[in-house]
Structure formats: structure tokens, C-alpha cells
Amino acid sequence: MIRVLIVEDDPMVAQINRTYLESIASFACVGAVGSVADAIALLEIEQVDLVLLDIFMPASNGLDFLRYLRQRCMGVDVIVISAASDIEHIQTALRLGAVDYLIKPFEFRRFKNALQAYEREQALLKSGDTLSQAQLDRLILHQDQSHSVAKSDIPKGMTRSTLQRAVEQLIAEPDRRFSTEEWARKVGISRVSMRKYARFLVDLDVVSCDIDYQTAGRPVYRYRLVESNVLRMDAYLPGWSSRQ
């Protein structure tokens, strides 16, 4: 569980951020405070992994808090959420180590993407003692396999129309974990063909795959949409993002 502190002086905005946060699995809010002083006091008694930080606050602003964290080498990450959209504030926040920056007002999708990207990066950092260059590129440059494939690079034997139907079926039932057979039946293709599409979408991290070890018989692969990554389909389906 990733423990999050909200530092926001507007109670209504703080409550909205908390509601958003608590709707995302793997994140827990350890508190919401309205000043830098209160944030520092809470850090002394609570374990915090991530801070959602406003900049404009009374007495001391969010950038002062970022400086405080860095001067003390505290292992706390920060996502800035602020109305400040000028280059100076953004550049200063990034130089002080903010891992992301959301400009108010923002959409929930952007908020969710920021937190889920942070979760993936933390999982990668904890996956072992060393990283490959590809893993490091994902962490620093946010590069992955989906960014290096052109629209014409859909594997041989697949069609864009079927690929679109496959993804749209998962979008229609985002909480369902489909077996290959169930997914194939919904899309209207054979199970063998469905495996091709499934492998492609798993490689893009648009779909997750889990193994269901049944009490009898062979294990069943189950697939589910990774909602935070679904816009990656824009690289393969022209006009995809405009339809979402």
C-alpha cells in the first residue's frame, strides 16, 4: 500500500483529491493538511511515501516544503497539484524532484494516470538490485514498447477492426477478467486468433494477464483492461482517442 499525504489549504479541493485518491487501489490517504508546518509535523509521526502538494499556501508555500524534503534527504516523493502554470514554478518544482505536475483544474483520468505511473515505477524500483537499460529508459524517459511501434506494425494476421473490437469489449466490462475463450466468443473470432490479439495487447501493457489455477484441469489465462494505458491504442487505431 502506498501511503499518501495531501497538502492543500482549500478544504474542498483537499476532499476532492482525497476522494479521487481513495478510489484507486493500492493507495491510502494518511492525512490531509492545509499548511507546510502541519505537513512537516505529520511527517514526524506518520510513514509517508508520496505527497500530493499544492504550491500556493499561507505562510510557507509548497516549493519551500519541497526544499525542506530535499535538504534533509527524506525518502518522500512529491506530485505537485497546483494552479501555477508558469514556467518558473513548474521548472523549480521539477528541479527540486517533483515526480509529476498537475495543473488545476485537472481531469480524474490525468490524476489516475499520474498515480498509476508512480505505482509502476515504484514496483520497478523494488523488482531487484539492478535495472536493465530498457527498464531504466521506462523509469527515466517513460519509454516502453508501445512508443517504439508504428501504426503499420500490427502483427501479421491481425486486423485493426478486430483489434478495436477486442479492446472495446474489455472497456465495456472493465471489472471482468476474461478467459481466452470468453473473450474470443464476445469478439466473434476463434480462440487461436484471440491468443494473438491477447499477446499483442499484453505486450503493450494495455491488458493484464493473470493465471487462474483451477482446482481441476489446466490453468486458465484471464485478461483484464489496464485502464490507465488504454490511450496507447491511439498508436494503432487512427482516431482512437477521439472516440473515448
Residue 34 and residue 118 share a domain:
yes
Whether 110 is in a domain gets the answer yes
Whether 97 is in a domain gets the answer yes
| pLDDT value at residue 78 | 96
Radius of gyration of the chain (CA): 21
Cα 126-108-161 angle, rounded to 5 deg: 85
% of the chain surpassing 90 pLDDT? 49
Domain count, the chain: 2
| pLDDT value at residue 151 | 47
Instruction: Return the CATH number at 29.
Output: 3.40.50.2300
Residue 99 and residue 63 share a domain:
yes
Average per-residue pLDDT for the chain: 86
188 pLDDT band, cuts 50/70/90, is: very high
Residue 11 and residue 101 share a domain:
yes
Residue 88 and residue 20 share a domain:
yes
Q: Look up residue 130 and give its three cell numbers.
A: 539492478
Residue 157 and residue 119 share a domain:
no
**CB distance 222 to 209 below 8 Å:** yes
Residue 153 and residue 120 share a domain:
no
Residue 121 and residue 152 share a domain:
no
| pLDDT value at residue 178 | 94
- For 48, the domain range is 2-125
Residue 100 and residue 19 share a domain:
yes
Residue 191 and residue 109 share a domain:
no
What would the pLDDT profile of 124-182 be if each residue is shown by its tens digit?
787 777 777 777 777 776 654 444 444 447 888 899 999 999 999 999 998 899 999 99
H/E element, 148 = none
Please determine, for residue 14, whether its predicted confidence score (pLDDT) is greater than 60.
yes
Whole-model pTM? 0.59
Please determine, for residue 214, whether its predicted confidence score (pLDDT) is greater than 90.
no
What would the pLDDT profile of 41-61 be if each residue is shown by its tens digit?
999 999 999 999 999 988 889
Domain final position from 73, 95, 125: 125
Taking residues 72-77, what's their average pLDDT? 90
Domain final position from 93, 125, 157: 125
The DSSP secondary-structure symbol of 9 reads: S
Q: In sequence order, what E strands does the chain have?
A: 2-7, 27-33, 50-53, 77-82, 100-103, 178-179, 207-212, 220-225
Residue 119 and residue 41 share a domain:
yes
Residue 120 and residue 157 share a domain:
no
| pLDDT value at residue 156 | 83
| pLDDT value at residue 170 | 92
Q: How many helices (H) and strands (E) does the chain have?
A: 10, 8
| pLDDT value at residue 10 | 92
Residue 157 and residue 121 share a domain:
no
- Phi and psi angles of residue 140, each rounded to the nearest 5 degrees, phi first: -90, -45
| pLDDT value at residue 161 | 92
